[in-house]
């Protein structure tokens, strides 16, 4: 949504050479690597399954026609000035929506005919780290209904990205013991609808997440998110072995997972990051 909004906001400058800063490798790869192949296959992936978020991708494809652009990946939540400023504005829009008040909004791109609603499009643009003008106070406007950017239905499908994060932070600030909350989040992450939702996995996985898989492969956060989007798999049944508070801001969860090939012993380290529990490290070992 962020890239799409930028393209629409600059449609009156078709010859503008856009340098798009984005913290999502999934978005960058979708546009620069995978989209031509998807189009040739009728918007289907290599395994024949429909591409997720296909309507958004088709809109992007139309808006990109004839445009001059380059993408630059920036690591999110890592001190990049524009990314941090965008994240601050996204959180402010989420808070405004939660409180039922109009979000502060900047003027948008100079000369643009497309004016995105403050709490939705501007917040979505901020989430991908695209540089926006500084927020300024504007006249109050109606806050739009939240719109999900994902076409996979799950229990969070009625929330947009910013509202989802507010709901998550509110839930995690409740009186639920951290051990129980971490177990709930782990089970949620094992569900295929959540695993296939890039927005939700981005919330659950720590920016520095790593995994040593049962095959011995080392996974980074971005590689894992892209792999799950391509193939979220089936729901995994598990048996909890332990949930231990190893530090004030860390819970170690151990469990056994069941699959047709056998059982696997797994451990997950969840850490408290900005008031939210996120998965920092995971390892799986086939059980003898």
In a domain, 44, yes or no: yes
The CA distance from 216 to 200, in Å, is 26
Q: What is the CATH number of the domain that holds 95?
A: 3.30.420.10
Tell whether 28 and 107 lie within a shared domain.
yes
3-state secondary structure of 175: coil
| Per-residue pLDDT at 284 | 94
Tell whether 91 and 12 lie within a shared domain.
yes
In a domain, 271, yes or no: yes
Tell whether 85 and 188 lie within a shared domain.
no
Tell whether 22 and 96 lie within a shared domain.
yes
> What residues pair up with 242 in beta bridges, in sequence order?
254
In a domain, 216, yes or no: yes
| Per-residue pLDDT at 60 | 92
Q: Where are the alpha helices (DSSP H) in the chain?
A: 2-9, 25-29, 35-40, 54-64, 81-99, 123-127, 161-172, 178-189, 192-195, 198-204, 221-230
Tell whether 99 and 189 lie within a shared domain.
no
Structural domains in the chain (count): 2
In a domain, 137, yes or no: no
The CA distance from 189 to 211, in Å, is 14
Instruction: Dig out the tokens for 53 from the structure.
Output: 């978020």
In a domain, 140, yes or no: no
| Per-residue pLDDT at 270 | 97
Last residue of a domain, one of 92, 127, 162: 127
In a domain, 42, yes or no: yes
| Per-residue pLDDT at 231 | 81
| Per-residue pLDDT at 67 | 92
Is the pTM value of this prediction over 0.75?
Answer: no
| Per-residue pLDDT at 211 | 96
Tell whether 120 and 8 lie within a shared domain.
yes
Instruction: Divide the 288 residues of the chain into consecutive groups of 10 and give the mean pLDDT of each group.
Output: 89 91 86 89 84 88 92 86 85 77 74 50 36 33 31 34 49 70 91 81 90 90 85 85 94 93 93 91 93
Q: What is the CATH number of the domain that holds 226?
A: 3.10.450.50
Query: Range of 105's domain?
Result: 2-127
| Per-residue pLDDT at 91 | 79
| Per-residue pLDDT at 171 | 52
In a domain, 182, yes or no: yes
In a domain, 149, yes or no: no
């Amino acid at each position: 949504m962020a890239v799409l909004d930028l393209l629409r906001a600059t449609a009156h400058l078709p010859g503008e050479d856009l340098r798009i800063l984005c913290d999502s490798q999934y978005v960058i790869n979708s546009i620069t690597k995978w989209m031509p192949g998807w189009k040739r296959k009728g918007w289907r992936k290599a395994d024949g399954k429909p591409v997720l978020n296909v309507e958004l991708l088709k809109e992007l494809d139309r808006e990109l026609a004839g445009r001059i652009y380059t993408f630059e990946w920036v690591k999110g939540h890592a001190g990049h000035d524009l990314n941090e400023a965008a994240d601050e504005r996204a959180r402010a829009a989420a808070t405004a929506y939660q409180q039922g008040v109009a979000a502060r909004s900047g003027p948008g791109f100079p000369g643009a005919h497309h004016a995105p609603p403050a709490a939705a499009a501007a917040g979505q643009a901020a989430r991908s780290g695209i540089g926006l003008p500084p927020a300024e106070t504007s006249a109050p406007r109606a806050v739009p209904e939240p719109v999900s950017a994902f076409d996979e239905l799950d229990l969070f499908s009625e929330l947009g990205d910013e509202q989802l994060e507010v709901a998550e932070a509110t839930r995690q600030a409740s009186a639920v013991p951290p051990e129980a909350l971490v177990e709930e989040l782990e089970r949620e992450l094992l569900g295929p609808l959540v695993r296939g939702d890039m927005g939700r996995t981005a919330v659950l996985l720590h920016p520095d997440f790593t995994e040593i898989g049962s095959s011995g492969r080392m996974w980074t956060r971005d590689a894992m998110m892209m792999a799950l989007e391509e193939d979220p798999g089936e729901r995994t049944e598990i048996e909890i072995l332990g949930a231990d508070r190893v530090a004030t801001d860390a819970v170690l969860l151990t469990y056994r997972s069941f699959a047709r090939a056998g059982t696997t012993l797994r451990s997950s380290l969840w850490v408290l990051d900005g008031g939210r529990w996120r998965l920092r490290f995971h390892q799986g070992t086939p059980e003898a």
